[in-house]
A and B are shown apart, each in its own frame.
Chain A
């Protein structure tokens, strides 16, 4: 038998290996495509009207850095605590976690972040003073948001409001059981700490003119919102027991406990109608909601409608009032017509059409009107009005030079989140103007205002994810006050998350489109061409050795990597 290791073979290893060829051969020259880390827009943020950088904040909470997440959130959003409570959270309807146990409770985490950052240490750093001055008309969410971003940009901001306290509809229209006013006050204090001056009880257009403001300030932003209740236009409407919903809410929110007869018909299907009905319930009055279309067409936040139903508010759908019936000086009924739904109207909702001869009487002792609000635009010249709204273009500019507009008065989006987002964007436009630069063709998208270069063109939907890496994990139960107990209390209905709940929930976030350092790419790279450097966030691709096989792209659970062609 031959000896295994004859002399001449001694130096030959058992099998071929190289401890120096790894880097010597530039295998990267073979590729025609290469992976790049892309910060893509998650589906949630794509639809967030306030422009919150959701997935990034979720990732920070999941890693236990709540402070960093809160700072990120407050980078452009002064009303995190408020929005966490009142936002209809369209983000959750788009959340890619939906089919793996239920959407992330983003609104609860926004509230958690907001409530965790109600002091000045969480505010972004202010830019150096610019010496420019901006007047904001209206201290509602759009005005507050614009003032916040402009103050951070170094401008001097004064906010005018006709009410005694700032907050706009947040203070006068959203009941305490949804938004405790101490939360609003603390967020307003944060805005004030940036040097924003609130000049209240001052009605622009009466106490002071727009021209005055134009002279004293370098720019004016009109964000007066919708406060005027539209009338029902039916006989009997002038009876003292027919109430204006907006004003009624304002009185209740100011601490009044008005005595109303019972039952009361609340006419309308928007948030005001729901808020009035739920508030009246808490005052011991029996509300009945009367709405001319069906539940599907209600403009109110669906979750709020659900809550009203849970609390026992009855609904009459496809019902429109035709007369307030007054007998012996007292309201005895609301005469109504049954409606049916026709073709969609300009709002996209199906138009209600009366059913002939369907009159009936709903026995009530009072009526609240909540069929929509409009803006008080008396401060503006005719040229700056466009029917019910402020005439403003895509850059928020009105025909009056130096005057901009945002919020419901200009766009009528009807949500606090849209107002906050609008405030942020108008601030970006005004800031550009104050910097002496031309106005852009359109206001920047909210994601363009983020401090990271997000690829905003392609939101990441579930089709782009490698779902093999995601297992089902249930959405948590959200703690609520017992429906019966709510009838006698304006205390907050929904309870917030504890730290533990928040971290647990944030860990369910798939962090779509953004690298969260899961290391899959690094593990799978057959060329060992992906490296993690200490202290550097994310990974580096060694392009000299990456052959462009694309395995990392395929195995990235969250579509944070993309293959791009190599320029030859």
Chain B
């Protein structure tokens, strides 16, 4: 069925179609309308789930952890400060190997207080053991949430489905909403192998001595390795059912590309026409959009980027004191290439706190890298600077 929905609405419908059994959530802008819609669906009987109102995000995830431990399909959603407040339990959910799905609406961290998008909130949770998937459109949101449950329940790791604040969360788009029967055939009811069993009482998450701890962690890491293949398989299976196949990374006009823009999320939509335009102007540009970020698709990126002349990584985030986070990850993957195949990698940090990244910006960045006007390892884009008299004057006013 075709529907016009916001990114947030897309999340809610996907949760309904996935037949989540427990939704435990706390509202925060710009996530709020996700859980409002889900609460309405539960109240109207459209979703047979227990909706738990809690007093904080910490409790929201605790509710999901409990429900999931008991074998229920659990979902929550949050954003920025809310995700940060969950941090302790983010680790717990992964360590307990619970297939929880969480939608995080990317929002900049305070202070200064901001409700607009950037990726530092979700990327701060990079090392918790969660899988992360960054979406570009409402359609991708719907499809990714459903796929996330499937992959999570296969490999027993939680997934964070990430969407940009406002550019995606609050923008209405035309979406093909899958039929319930299709989703049901794709996503069977959860059978958690280690769910609580009243016949065999046990303490969960008990003390583990140094002789065992590493083994649990090794198993988490192995599950991530396995998950990469599962994401690929599930993305193809979804394509057979719906005609929409998903890949771990999405490539665009990579044939003959000598300069490749690597980015994620809605910036991918902005980039595609710019790539077309530059191709017409004779610049051999291609686009790689990172979709699955954890597990990290290092070998895929090596095969896509190996042998190209230049790579520009556009980050809507920053690991302070170093580079943009996607930038450093991409660069580390490419280090394993033979030196002759290693492209030159430049990073641009742009669009933090919801600032627009326009087609003109992208064209200027790509042209700059192509013509060697931009050669610094990291460039902060469009920041008021004393070297720029016009902008300095603006800053003074």
Chain A residues close to B by CB (< 8 Å): 1-6, 9, 12-19, 21-22, 25
Q: Are A21 and B194 in contact (CB under 8 A)?
A: no
Central interface residue in B96, B200, B219, by most chain A CB within 10 Å: B219
- Which one of A1, A13, A22 contacts B203 once the chains associate, using CB atoms below 8 Å? A22
Q: Is the CB of B156 closer than 8 A to any CB of chain A?
A: yes
With A4-B226, A21-B207 known as contacts, the answer to whether A14 contacts B219 (CB < 8 A) is yes
Q: Does B216 contact A (CB under 8 A)?
A: yes
Q: Which residues of chain B from 189 to 207 have any CB-CB distance to chain A below 8 Å in the complex?
A: 193-194, 200-207
- Asked if A17 contacts B205 (CB within 8 A), the reply is yes
> Does B193 contact A22, Cβ atoms closer than 8 Å?
no
B222 near A15 with CB under 8 A, answer no
CA A17 – CA B226 in complex, angstroms?
23
B201 touches A16 (CB 8 A): no
Chain B residues whose CB sits within 8 angstroms of the CB of A21 once the complex forms: 203, 206-207
Query: Does B215 belong to the interface (CB within 8 Å)?
Result: yes
* One of B96, B200, B223, B228 near A19 (C-beta < 8 A): B200
Q: Which residues of A contact B194 (CB under 8 A)?
A: 13-15, 17
Also in contact, A14 and B226, with CB within 8 A (given A9-B215, A19-B200, A21-B207): no
Pick the contact of B97 from A1, A15, A22, A25 — CB < 8 Å?
Answer: A15
Known: A14-B97, A16-B212, A18-B206; 4 extra A-B contacts, CB below 8 A, are: A6-B222, A14-B219, A16-B206, A21-B207
Chain B positions within 8 Å of A19 at CB level: 200-203
What 0/1 pattern do residues 85 to 109 of B give for CB contact below 8 A with A? Answer: 0000000000111000000000000
As a 0/1 sequence over residues 169 to 210 of chain B, the CB contacts with chain A under 8 angstroms (1 = contact) are 000000000000000000000000110000011111111100
How far is B77's CA from A20's CA once the two chains are assembled, in angstroms? 35
Residue in contact with B225 in the complex, picked from A1, A15, A18, A25, CB distance below 8 Å: A1
Nearest chain B CB to A18 CB, angstrom units: 4
Q: Which residues of B contact A14 (CB under 8 A)?
A: 97, 156, 193-194, 219
Residues of A within 8 A of B97 (CB): 14-15
Q: Shortest CB–CB separation between residue B2 and chain A, in angstroms? A: 38
Give the complex CA separation of A239 and B200 in angstroms: 91
Known contacts A18-B203, A21-B207, A1 near B218 by CB under 8 Å: no
The 26 listed contacts between A and B (C-beta, < 8 Å) are A1-B225, A1-B226, A1-B228, A4-B219, A4-B223, A9-B219, A12-B212, A12-B219, A14-B193, A14-B194, A14-B219, A15-B205, A16-B206, A16-B216, A17-B194, A17-B202, A17-B203, A17-B206, A18-B202, A18-B206, A19-B201, A19-B202, A21-B206, A21-B207, A22-B203, A25-B207
Decide if the interface of chain A is mainly helix, strand, loop or mixed.
loop
Taking the nearest CB of chain B, how far is it from the CB of A547, in angstroms?
14
B229 CB–A CB distance under 8 Å: yes
Nearest B residue to A22 by beta-carbon distance?
B203
Q: Is the CB of B226 within 8 A of A22?
A: no
CB contacts (< 8 Å) of B201 on chain A: these are 19, 22
User: Residues of A contacting B193 with CB < 8 Å?
Assistant: 14
Complex interface: chain B residues within 8 A of A9 (CB):
215, 218-219, 222
Give B147-179 as 1s and 0s: 1 = Cβ < 8 Å from A's Cβ atoms.
000000000100000000000000000000000
Please name all residues of chain B whose beta carbon is closer than 8 Å to the beta carbon of A16 when the two chains form the complex.
95, 204-206, 208, 212, 216
Minimal Cβ-Cβ distance residue in A for B196: A17
**Separation of A12 and B223 alpha carbons in the complex (Å):** 14
Chain B residue nearest to A527 (CB atoms) is B203
Q: Residue on B with the closest CB to A16? A: B208
**Which residues of chain A have C-beta atoms less than 8 A from B226's C-beta?**
1, 4
- Contact B204–A17 (Cβ < 8 Å): yes
- Please give, as numbers and ranges, the residues of chain B lying within 8 Å of A13 by CB-CB distance: 194
> Which 7 A-B pairs rank lowest in CB-CB distance, beginning with the nearest?
A18-B206, A12-B215, A19-B202, A17-B202, A15-B97, A18-B203, A22-B203
CA A370 to CA B208, docked complex, whole Å: 84
Closest to A528 in B: B201
Contact assessment for B212 and A4 in the assembled complex, using a CB-CB cutoff below 8 Å: no
> How far is A16 from B206 in the complex, measured between Cα atoms in Å?
6
Considering the complex, which residues of chain B in the window 246-280 have a beta carbon less than 8 Å from any beta carbon of chain A? none
Taken residue by residue from 224 to 249, chain B's Cβ proximity to chain A (1 for < 8 Å, 0 otherwise) reads as 01101100000000000000000000
Most buried by B among A5, A13, A14: A14
- Check A1 against B216 for contact (C-beta < 8 Å): no
CA distance A5 to B156 in the complex (A): 14
Choose among A15, A17, A19 the residue with the greatest number of B CB atoms under 10 Å from its CB: A15
B280 CB to nearest chain A CB (Å): 40
User: Residues of A contacting B200 with CB < 8 Å?
Assistant: 19
Q: How far is the CB of B277 from chain A (nearest CB, A)?
A: 39
Q: A22 with B202: in contact, given A4-B226, A15-B97 (CB under 8 Å)?
A: yes
- A6–B223 CA distance with the chains assembled, in angstroms: 12
In the bound assembly, the distance between CA atoms of A5 and B96 in angstroms comes to 17
Enumerate chain B residues within 8 angstroms of A4, measured Cβ to Cβ.
219, 222-223, 225-226
Complex alpha-carbon distance, A2 and B194, angstroms: 23
Give A2 to B295 CA distance when docked, in angstroms: 13
Closest to B215 in A: A12
Q: How far is the CA of A6 from the CA of B226 in the complex (A)?
A: 13
Partner of B229 from the list A1, A12, A15, A25 (CB cut-off 8 Å) is: A1
| Bound CA–CA A9/B156 (angstroms) | 16
* Chain B nearest Cβ from A542, distance in angstroms: 14
Q: In the complex, what distance in Å separates the CA atom of A2 from the CA atom of B229?
A: 11
Which B residue sits closest to A18, measured CB to CB?
A: B206
Q: In the complex the two chains form, what is the Cα distance from A81 to B215 in whole Å? A: 73
- Are B222 and A2 in contact (CB-based, < 8 A)? yes
Q: Are B203 and A15 neighbours in the complex by a CB distance under 8 Å?
A: no
B93 to chain A, nearest CB (A): 10
Q: Tell me the bound Cα distance from A14 to B99 in angstroms.
A: 13
* Chain A positions within 8 Å of B203 at CB level: 17-19, 21-22
**B218 / chain A contacts, CB cutoff of 8 Å:** 9
Q: In the complex, how many angstroms separate the beta carbon of A142 from the nearest chain B beta carbon?
A: 55
Contacts of A25 in B (CB 8 A): 207
Docked pose: A19 CA to B226 CA in angstroms: 29
B203 to chain A, nearest CB (A): 5
CA distance A1 to B208 in the complex (A): 28
Q: How far is the CA of A6 from the CA of B225 in the complex (A)?
A: 13
A15 to B212, CA, bound (A): 11
Interchain CB contact (< 8 A) of B96 among A2, A15, A22: A15
CA distance A5 to B193 in the complex (A): 15
- A18→B215 CA distance, assembly (Å): 16
Cβ proximity bits B17-45 to A, threshold 8 Å, 1 near / 0 not: 00000000000000000000000000000
Residue among B194, B206, B207 with the highest chain A CB neighbour number at 10 A? B206
